[in-house]
Amino acid sequence: MNEMTSQSLRDAWSTVLDLDVGPATDFFVSGGDSLAIAELQALLKDEFGIPFRNSDLLQNSTLQSFYDNVVKPWA
């Protein structure tokens, strides 16, 4: 299993959203929808062992907030 870093999370969001993202990128404003959430959930769980609920992303919709509040606790 790989270690999740802020750069690897950024890469995952970029893959799912199909665009360049930065710390202030909002997942939903950038085109994220329920299918993109499912894709991101599978990617983070399979590659990094990090599960998350839809509500985690709804409450932390920017890349930086998601990393700080959802990903870091698993690191």
Question: What is the tally of structural domains in the chain?
Answer: 1
Helices (H) and strands (E) in the chain, counts: 4, 0
Helix (H, G, I), strand (E, B) or coil at 26: strand
pTM of the model: 0.91
In terms of residue numbers, what domain contains 24?
6-74
Q: Based on the number of CB atoms within 10 Å of its own CB, is 68 exposed (0-12), middle (13-18) or buried (19 or more)? A: middle
Residue 49 placed within a domain: yes
Q: What are the tens digits of pLDDT across the range 20-73? A: 999 999 999 999 999 999 999 999 999 889 999 999 999 999 999 999 999 988
Please give the pLDDT value at position 4.
Answer: 75
Report pLDDT for 2.
62
CATH value at residue 64: 1.10.1200.10
pLDDT exceeds 90 at position 14: yes
Q: Considering the domain boundaries, does residue 29 fall inside one?
A: yes
Q: How many Cα atoms sit within 13 Å of 28 on the Cβ side?
A: 10
